[in-house]
Amino acid sequence: MSCKCCMTVDVEEWFNILDIPGEVPFEQWDSRENRLESNMMRLLELFRKHDVRVTCFWLGFFAKKYPALVRRCYEAGHEIASHGYAHLLAYKVGREKFKEDVESGKKILEDITGAPVAGFRAAGFSVTAEIDWFFDVIRSAGYLYDSSVFPARRGHGGVDNTPLTDYVIHTPSGDLWEIPQSMIKILGKRVSFFGGGYLRIAPGFLITQGIRALKKHGRQPVFYVHPREIDPDHPRLKMSTMRKIKSYINLKSTYPKLENLCRNHDFMLMRERIKLDI
């Protein structure tokens, strides 16, 4: 098995932070300051510089707003995958509304690029053990793989006791690959150093050790980043002290860590990981 890494970008704005007092309602998204374009351009330049191809999980709302940027990602060789349309927490909105959201996000991306979209990632890794319909909705919408499982407890979402490796989920609509967020075990506890606040908080040597631990067991690391995380000066939202720490700590460290990863590791697209030829 190849032990190349996967770099993924959850393409959303600085205000798309979930479950906080200052959460920006969907109806106000268009009126807020745009920082996504410039941050994505900076990420694309970083990836071009190091000849790294990544998987971009686009929110349909912003894909529709910035179709030229979606095409730019696609034409640069990056994979276009879906993050849904309106950044909905699956366990909050229910099956029917979630189904509409994931179908809409996929259609918008395919209309823009003219190419099939194989992958999906839910907002906030918001699949839980209680919503047993989740994977069937994803597969019935036409997706071939999912990357929504955070295989440990977290603030929203998280599923304990699931495999740490890629696996196939059998649904009434067909088989679906699951590529979970990368975790390692420390003293029997599942821990992540590979994305979001986890990547920002972890010192470089722990990230390196985590990568080695994964590769030792033949597991391919999956990293994830949001465009806002390379933008330390982006506006702040109202939230609890703990959420502020999780959302805003070490923002200045994100870009250097990404550059270090791009410089020192080999990468492949998520669809290549499960050998999808689309």
Tens place of pLDDT for every residue, the chain, 278 residues? 457 999 999 999 999 999 899 999 999 999 999 999 999 999 999 999 999 999 999 999 999 999 999 999 999 999 999 999 999 999 999 999 999 999 999 999 999 999 999 999 999 999 999 999 999 999 999 999 999 999 998 877 888 889 999 999 999 999 999 999 999 999 989 999 999 999 999 999 999 999 999 999 889 999 999 999 999 999 999 999 999 999 999 999 999 999 999 999 999 999 999 998 76
User: In degrees rounded to 5, what are phi and psi of residue 252?
Assistant: -70, -15
The CA distances from residue 235 to 14, 35, 265, 267, in Å, are: 7, 10, 32, 32
Q: Which residue has the tokens 């003219």?
A: 114
Taking the C-alpha atoms of residue 152 and residue 150, their distance in angstroms, rounded to an integer, is: 6
pLDDT at 173: 98
Single out the residue of 150, 208, 253 nearest to residue 5, CA to CA.
208
pLDDT at 84: 98
Taking the C-alpha atoms of residue 239 and residue 18, their distance in angstroms, rounded to an integer, is: 10
Separation of first and last alpha carbons in the chain: 21
pTM of the model: 0.96
Tokens of 247: 């959302």
Residues 55/270, Cβ–Cβ less than 8 Å: yes
pLDDT at 1: 40
- Residue 30: CA count within 13 A, CB half-sphere: 6
pLDDT at 153: 83
Tokens of 155: 């603030």
